[in-house]
Every structure is written in structure tokens, then in C-alpha cells.
Chain A
């Protein structure tokens, strides 16, 4: 091959440049490349390609229904926590673990009453994670905010930081636990979107299942990042709100008709 002018063969230069770059990357940072490759092909464990969340239609949430709360208590062994002997009703109701609670809002002007189940909102920027001194409070890659009890020291700083009052502290020894929900004195806990179900490939939460079974269908669980999921489609068509959107936490749990 001969060049008619003095210009060098740019294709050849490009080829050499790319080869050197690739060889350099492979020899200098094999660890980095490996990690990237693994993140793409990893099938086990959580991935940030998804973000789990809930959409709750408060119009469909019935006044006297506690199906979601009961289902949550059963699923996560919260009903196995016994009341300490001699504790007053007030103390027990204030201190018992609660992953979901029913909140009633009343418009003072019109008297309109709105019901909504309140749980951990699985923020994108969770204040509980920011303040945790040991790193026990953490956000999984798939957006679920939870507590690693192995490192939780029970300081309850996260309970102070949470704007949603979503976390509970276990004050006394617990005699019985479920395999899926370890629980013991001295740790903080909160809704984890039934993480054991998600890890098992089940795409329902206990609360959603119970709500659907009762015919209310107020709770929809799904992947916020998947445009084809029922949740994403509903969010696209309906006007929804984050509770305390002013805090800019980008919650994973959204509400309509609040």
C-alpha cells in the first residue's frame, strides 16, 4: 500500500492507539475491568437495575381494615413478640414493633378523612443510613433500605432521623422467631419489603397480597425502573405524591389521592 500524499495512515494509527489502550487497561487495572464485567453478568444477588417500590391508593384503603398490618405481623413474626409482664397499654402500644401502621388524616376544614398505611418509605437518600454510626442501616442495590442486625448497636439514631417514624426498637428478649425474620433485644428494625420473598423470586409483599385478597387492591408492589411494570405504568398515568416530598428523599413508596 502506498500513500499518494504525506498524510499518515489514520486507520493504522487508530488501530495501534486502541490496542495500546486496551493492553494498558488490561495490565494496569485488571481488577477494575473484572468488577465491571462481573456487575453485568452477575445473576446472583441484588442489582441496581431494579428499584422496588409501592404505590398506595388511599381511596381504596378501607376505614376499618387492618389486613395489611395483620399480614405483615404474621409474615415477619412481629406477632411473636410478647408484651412484657406488667407493661401498661400505652407503653406497649408506643413500644411494640410495627412495620406498617394505619394513619388517618383529617382535613380540618372539610372533615374529609383519608386512610393510609405507613411504612418505611425506602428513600433513595435515606436519612437513617446517613446517621448510622456503624453502617448497620444500609440501602441495598435494589433500593430496599434495611438494618443489618449483625452490626446494629441499638443506638436508635436512625429512629430519630426517620421523618416517617418507620422504625421500631426491640426492647426485650424475644422467645420465638421465624427463619426469615430474625429478631432480638437491642436492635432496630423496619419494613424490608418482604426481602426474603424478593430474594426467592416472588414479586409480592405480604401487605400487597393481603390487600388484594380482601378485594381492596390499594397496594401495588413493583419495580420502579421497569417501564413495563404495573407500578411504573400506574405512576405514569396517575397523579401520585411522596410524603414529605419537601425533604427530597425520593421515596420508593408513593401515594395517590392524599
Chain B
């Protein structure tokens, strides 16, 4: 039946085109803000995949220790998130990390998760002078964005997978 074959072929091409577009758009940009301190670093406080899934758990756990027991300078700190991930506004200052299209907002908006941290917490690095902050030069080291860079493998590395499994077992 030539007619139905034609439709099938057309639908197939349409779907393939759609997937290709989606895939490239998803792969083409990393959420780590270019020019932020984070963009110049190799890794966050934990492997990328782990940070994506568990950052809220880490913050929640450490906030109790900090507020209630006065334990400061822990590995996971919201102030450190802001310090590394805030983008500069071009006038020597910083943009709010939860502003439209910024690091926190991009993912939380996409996932429809309301972000309440910054109703109370500071949204920009404490050091307001962006020129003195460490900046990245190239486009390298986007390895811990929400989405992957072009050419980056979507699979976890063996090391990351092992850490994951250990985490899951703990829970």
C-alpha cells in the first residue's frame, strides 16, 4: 500500500527531525553560567550527576548542623553555591542567582519546582566586586552543568556510578 507507506515515511521523518532538534538543543547548552567562577572549575563539591540529584539533600542536612549546632564551614553551603554560580551583570556587580534565566532558575523553572531559599538567603556573592572574583577564560570545564555539553558522554563514569550505587545502598 504505497499511500500508507508514504504517510509512515513522512511521520518517521518528522519524528526523527523533532528528536534531532530536541537532542541538539538539549545538548548544546550547559546551565553553568559562562563567566561564573564555576565555569572555570573542574568539578563541584561532588560529581556532577550526584549534585544534580542530591544538592537539596546536602543543603538540608548541613543547614541543621549549622543553625542548631553552630558547625560552620561545612562542605555543602548555599553561600558557596552562590559564590561560584552567580553571573556577572557587566557593571562590576552580580546578577541574582535566582533571577529569570539564571543558574538556579533555569532548572527549577523547567522542573516547576518552587525555590524558597532566596526569600531569606542572599542571592549574590558577598564580595560585590565582580572584577576581583576569579573568572574563567575559556569555555572549558562545563562538566557540571545541568545538561551536557556537546560531545560529552551522557553515561556516568565508572567512578560516578560506583558512588551512586553506594548512596542508593545507604538509603
Confirm or deny: B11 has a beta carbon within 8 angstroms of a beta carbon on chain A: no
Pair B126/A179 contact, Cβ less than 8 Å: yes
Asked, given contacts A185-B119, A187-B120, whether A179 binds B79 with beta carbons under 8 Å apart, the answer is yes
Number of interface residues of A (CB under 8 A): 28
Give the residue of A182, A184, A199 whose beta carbon is less than 8 angstroms from that of B70. Answer: A199
Give the residue of A149, A174, A182, A200 whose beta carbon is less than 8 angstroms from that of B72. Answer: A200
Pair A199/B72 contact, Cβ less than 8 Å: yes
Report Cα–Cα, A183/B123, bound state, in Å. Answer: 12
Pair B121/A150 contact, Cβ less than 8 Å: no
> Given the complex, which residues of B lie within 8 Å of A178, measured CB to CB?
122, 126
Nearest-Cβ distance from residue A13 to partner chain B, whole angstroms? 44
Nearest-Cβ distance from residue A219 to partner chain B, whole angstroms? 22
Q: Which of A143-157 contact B (CB under 8 A)?
A: 146, 148-150
Report Cα–Cα, A140/B69, bound state, in Å. Answer: 7
Asked, given contacts A44-B71, A150-B63, A150-B67, whether A173 binds B119 with beta carbons under 8 Å apart, the answer is yes
Asked, given contacts A178-B126, A179-B126, whether A148 binds B68 with beta carbons under 8 Å apart, the answer is yes
Pair B126/A182 contact, Cβ less than 8 Å: no
Pair B70/A149 contact, Cβ less than 8 Å: no
Report Cα–Cα, A64/B89, bound state, in Å. Answer: 42
Confirm or deny: A177 has a beta carbon within 8 angstroms of a beta carbon on chain B: yes
> Given the complex, which residues of A lie within 8 Å of B79, measured CB to CB?
179
> Given the complex, which residues of B lie within 8 Å of A179, measured CB to CB?
79, 122, 126
Number of interface residues of B (CB under 8 A): 16
Pair B122/A182 contact, Cβ less than 8 Å: yes
Nearest-Cβ distance from residue B8 to partner chain A, whole angstroms? 56
Report Cα–Cα, A179/B86, bound state, in Å. Answer: 14
Confirm or deny: A75 has a beta carbon within 8 angstroms of a beta carbon on chain B: no
> Given the complex, which residues of A lie within 8 Å of B57, measured CB to CB?
none
Please, what's the 1-or-0 string for A130-146, where 1 marks a CB less than 8 Å from any CB in chain B?
Answer: 00000000101110001
Q: Which residue of B lies closest to A146 (CB)?
A: B67
Confirm or deny: A195 has a beta carbon within 8 angstroms of a beta carbon on chain B: yes
Pair B119/A140 contact, Cβ less than 8 Å: no
Nearest-Cβ distance from residue B110 to partner chain A, whole angstroms? 24
Confirm or deny: B129 has a beta carbon within 8 angstroms of a beta carbon on chain A: no
Pair A45/B67 contact, Cβ less than 8 Å: no
Nearest-Cβ distance from residue B38 to partner chain A, whole angstroms? 18
Report Cα–Cα, A148/B70, bound state, in Å. Answer: 12
Nearest-Cβ distance from residue B171 to partner chain A, whole angstroms? 21
Please, what's the 1-or-0 string for A38-66, where 1 marks a CB less than 8 Å from any CB in chain B?
Answer: 00000011100000000000000000000
Report Cα–Cα, A46/B70, bound state, in Å. Answer: 6
Which residues of A come within 8 Å of B, CB atoms?
44-46, 138, 140-142, 146, 148-150, 173-174, 176-179, 182-187, 195-196, 198-200
Chosen A-B contacts, 24 in total, with CB atoms closer than 8 Å, are: A45-B65, A46-B70, A138-B68, A140-B68, A140-B69, A141-B69, A146-B67, A150-B67, A173-B119, A176-B122, A177-B120, A177-B121, A177-B123, A178-B122, A179-B79, A183-B120, A184-B119, A184-B120, A185-B119, A187-B120, A199-B70, A199-B71, A199-B72, A200-B72
Which residues of B come within 8 Å of A, CB atoms?
63-65, 67-72, 79, 119-123, 126
